[in-house]
Amino acid sequence: MSDAQVIPLNPDREPTGDGGASFAGEQHLAGAFRFLRRRLEGSYEVDDFGFDRELTNDVLIPSLRPLYEKWFPVEVHGIENVPSEGGALIVANHSGTIALDSLMTQVALADHHPAHRQLRMLGADLVFAVPFLGTVARRAGHTLACNPDAERLLESGEVVGVWPEGFKGVGKPYSERYRLQRFGRGGFVSAALRAQVPIIPTSIVGAEEIYPILADAKLLARLLGTPYFPITPTFPWLGPLGLIPLPSKWHIEFGEPIMTDVFTEGAADDPMLMFNLTDQVRETIQHTLYKLLMQRRSVFF
Amino acid sequence: MARVVLVTGVSRYLGGRLARLLGQHPDVERVIGVDVIPPPDDLGNAEFVRADIRNPVIAKVIKAASVDTVVHMNVIATPVGAGGRSAMKEINVIGTMQLLAACQRAASVKQLVVKSSATVYGVSAKDPAMFTEDMEAVRLPRSGFAKDSVEVEGYVRGFVRRRPDVAVTMLRFANILGPGIDTPLARYLSLPVVPTVMGFDGRIQLTHEDDALAAVEAATFGAAPGTYNVSGDGVLMLSQAIARAGRVNLPLPTPFASVTRELVRRFGYIDFTSEQIEYLKYGRGVDTSWITERLGFVARHSTRQTFDAFLLAHPLGRVLPWDAPEEPTPVTTIGGVAR
């Protein structure tokens, strides 16, 4: 759709500061209408995974931006470790009761990486079985955490994000904060090796404090079919207000890439190598977490 | 080598068109089309033999004409017009068994092509985004056409073991759609108000009917037997397809969706199995790189182009006031710049 031609209604009038502002507002409105029209007509693109680039860039990321820039604010380190083109696998620690840490990483890469890279996350199967959540996740470019999907994305040159701690990480009690849980079976390492893309160990500080889990109501969780039911200082006591995350100060550090193209073909089938690499990634993240925590003056500043 | 080809299911749209197409092929000496009812359209150079594949008489047809290539198109997707679900199952499963039994006895048969379906991969929230031919269903289909397809493939694999000298190709088609074909999906998307499952939006892949025929042709004359996925490039979200068709999307909570399915089914308009409800929720993607690498087949229509061709041929009137998108936007592939 070509942009509408702008014809000034009153060419004699000097443009004033005020008029300029309202003109910009009109253009914005026209853009919003065009967007809405495309959505209603179904004339937009999704890729094979259901990723809707337009919706992600124009709606989903802007709606997360205030949280990223104002509420927490997030400070990013080492973004240059993420390549500007080609595949890469981001492996990070997971915490914070709901997976806001992964969303903030997505915003960091989209807004602050020089190549504005889209993070394609691998999510638990539970995410895709939940109404609305699964649909939004697919639209935002995420897919099921399984090796075929991970390899397909990496081989097509996407930046893939994985949080190997899964629910063990997000649902852990506050007393265990910044202590990494088991890293699954390390399937992510073999995916990176097969696709020959660098692994970028990423450490996130701040997410642990947004909803500190004091206790887990296991019975309620079983009734609701969720992996855990968090009891935080504000939830469920304050009702919906309890859903507001505490405004902690965040740091996301993208670490030195671990190159995988140095290994020979078939290395992905060597379980010992997989264990060692998984451990290396886990240790790197854990040490970076301790380093960042040492540097942090307070939880909120 | 002049070939004698037997095509089953020629009274249906795709089977009839295939018989006509193969009849024009220079390498084909004779095309014999079989079905239980006479075909509605002329079969061109192909001859029609009224025979039921559920009956051993089919063996006589194969022997009498010393058929060397059998193309099995008579696996049907909808009980509407077949005389109910039990008749449909009999045509699909018993029919395939009889046909394969006849082929096994006939020494003249050297090649078998079977129309299968991507529904054999099942549907679930745990599915990978794209299925390749070597993957298995995460959740096996339990009813309807999808289950029939799984059973048909099972019998075909049994046949491959017993007659290793026959080159067997199975084609797993994503939903076939186009200007002419009548499928459950075509009927569903033609409803003025399209019921969907609230909170879910499946990824839909389509094969253009012309591409489906071209794929069968490529399998018949190609030298690489095996199992292949067939689909147009790219996917459409279900909600996106409904929007493009100018229909009203009516999301229903899951329990209501089952009730509505039962109602629509009772009216006999579309048969919707619980399998198909799951498909509307999650959709499915199949990877088509194998058929391109090994048979050199490339679908000429993308999923989006197939859908637009379907819309163009079905002037049902738009329910929503705005017009159809003017120009077809180019198909994107994964990768490329972020913004």
Given an 8 Å threshold on Cβ–Cβ distance, is B126 in contact with A118?
no
**Position B291 in a domain:** no
Give the closest-approach CA distance of A126 to chain B in angstroms. 8
Give the closest-approach CA distance of B268 to chain A in angstroms. 29
Maximum CA extent, chain A = 78
pLDDT in tens, B32-79: 999 988 999 889 899 999 988 888 889 999 999 999 999 999 988 877
Q: Give the nearest partner residue to A149 out of B128, B198, B323, using CB atoms.
A: B128
Q: Is B243 exposed, middle or buried (0-12, 13-18, 19+ CB in 10 A)?
A: buried
Distance from C-alpha of A56 to C-alpha of B35, rounded to nearest angstrom: 51
Q: Where are the domains of chain A?
A: 18-47, 49-210+245-295
**Position B186 in a domain:** no
Given an 8 Å threshold on Cβ–Cβ distance, is B338 in contact with A116?
yes
| Confidence band for B329, pLDDT divided at 50, 70 and 90 | very low
- CA B260 to each of CA A88, A95, B141, B265: distance values in angstroms, whole numbers, following the listed order: 45, 41, 21, 8
Q: Give the nearest partner residue to B325 out of A41, A125, A157, using CB atoms.
A: A41
pLDDT, residue B133, reads: 95
Q: Say if A144 is an interface residue toward chain B (CB within 8 Å).
A: yes
pLDDT, residue B227, reads: 97
B124 to chain A: closest CA residue: A129
Given an 8 Å threshold on Cβ–Cβ distance, is B334 in contact with A143?
no
User: Reduced to 3 states, what is the DSSP secondary structure of residue B107?
Assistant: coil
Chain A residues close to B331, C-beta within 8 Å: 45
Q: Are A253 and A80 in contact (CB under 8 A)?
A: no
Q: Would you say residue B90 has pLDDT above 60?
A: yes
Give the closest-approach CA distance of B234 to chain A in angstroms. 6
pLDDT, residue B144, reads: 84
Tokens of B240: 């996106």
Q: Which CATH number fits domain A49-210+245-295: 1.10.260.40, 2.40.128.720, 3.40.1130.10, 3.40.1010.10?
A: 3.40.1130.10
Could you give the angle at the alpha carbon of B7 between the alpha carbons of B4 and B11, nearest 5°? Answer: 140
Give the closest-approach CA distance of A34 to chain B in angstroms. 12
Q: Give the nearest partner residue to B243 out of A40, A116, A152, using CB atoms.
A: A40
Tally A–B CB contacts below 8 A: 109
Q: Say if B239 is an interface residue toward chain A (CB within 8 Å).
A: yes
A114 to chain B: closest CA residue: B338
Given an 8 Å threshold on Cβ–Cβ distance, is B235 in contact with A50?
yes
Distance from C-alpha of B1 to C-alpha of B3, rounded to nearest angstrom: 6
Q: Which residue, among A48, A84, A85, A118, would best test binding to B if mutated, counting the most B CBs under 10 Å from its CB?
A: A48
Instruction: Compute the Cα dihedral for B290, B294, B298, B299 and give only its sign.
Output: negative
Q: Say if A46 is an interface residue toward chain B (CB within 8 Å).
A: yes
pLDDT, residue A153, reads: 96
pLDDT, residue A8, reads: 46
User: Reduced to 3 states, what is the DSSP secondary structure of residue A194?
Assistant: helix
Question: A58: which DSSP letter?
Answer: I
Distance from C-alpha of B284 to C-alpha of A123, rounded to nearest angstrom: 17
Q: Would you say residue B296 has pLDDT above 60?
A: yes
Give the closest-approach CA distance of A100 to chain B in angstroms. 21
Q: Say if A289 is an interface residue toward chain B (CB within 8 Å).
A: no
- Residue B105's contacts (CB-CB under 8 Å, 6 or more residues apart) are B59, B63
Could you give the angle at the alpha carbon of B38 between the alpha carbons of B36 and B43, nearest 5°? Answer: 120
Q: Would you say residue B254 has pLDDT above 70?
A: yes
pLDDT, residue A152, reads: 95
Average pLDDT score over residue span B310-331: 62
**Residue ranges in chain A modelled with pLDDT below 70:** 1-22
Tokens of A145: 């955490």
Name the residue among B167, B195, B327, B307 with its Cα closest to residue B258.
Answer: B195
Give the closest-approach CA distance of A93 to chain B in angstroms. 23
Name the residue among A83, A103, A142, A58 with its Cα closest to residue A250.
Answer: A103
Tokens of A281: 């990634």
**Position B269 in a domain:** no
pLDDT, residue B80, reads: 67
Q: Would you say residue B264 has pLDDT above 80?
A: no
Q: Give the nearest partner residue to B200 out of A47, A125, A135, using CB atoms.
A: A135
- Residue B203's contacts (CB-CB under 8 Å, 6 or more residues apart) are A46, A48, A49, A50, A138, B129, B235, B236, B237, B238, B282, B283, B284, B285
Residue listed under structure tokens 């499952």: B197
Q: Say if A158 is an interface residue toward chain B (CB within 8 Å).
A: yes
Name the residue among B66, B61, B70 with its Cα closest to residue B216.
Answer: B70
Q: Say if B320 is an interface residue toward chain A (CB within 8 Å).
A: yes
Tokens of A224: 């609701």
**ipTM for this model:** 0.85
Average pLDDT score over residue span B142-161: 93
Structural domain containing residue B49: 3-174+207-231
| Confidence band for B314, pLDDT divided at 50, 70 and 90 | confident
For residue A236, cis peptide bond before it (omega within 30 degrees of 0): yes
- The CA R_g of chain B, rounded to the nearest whole Å, is 20
CATH of the domain at B34: 3.40.50.720
Quote the mean pLDDT of chain B: 88
Alpha helices in A42-84 (DSSP H): 53-55, 61-66
The amino acid present at A127, given as its one-letter code, is V
B198 to chain A: closest CA residue: A131
**Residue B168, beta-bridge partner list:** B112
Residue listed under structure tokens 């638990």: A124
Chain B residues close to A51, C-beta within 8 Å: 334
How many residues does this entry show for chain A?
301
Give the closest-approach CA distance of B89 to chain A in angstroms. 30
Q: Say if A36 is an interface residue toward chain B (CB within 8 Å).
A: no
Given an 8 Å threshold on Cβ–Cβ distance, is B199 in contact with A132?
yes
Chain B residues close to A48, C-beta within 8 Å: 129-130, 203, 234-235, 285, 334
Q: How many domains does chain B have?
A: 1
pLDDT, residue B317, reads: 57
Percent of chain B scored above 90 by pLDDT? Answer: 64
| Confidence band for B316, pLDDT divided at 50, 70 and 90 | low
**Position B339 in a domain:** no
Give the closest-approach CA distance of B256 to chain A in angstroms. 15
Chain B residues close to A53, C-beta within 8 Å: 338
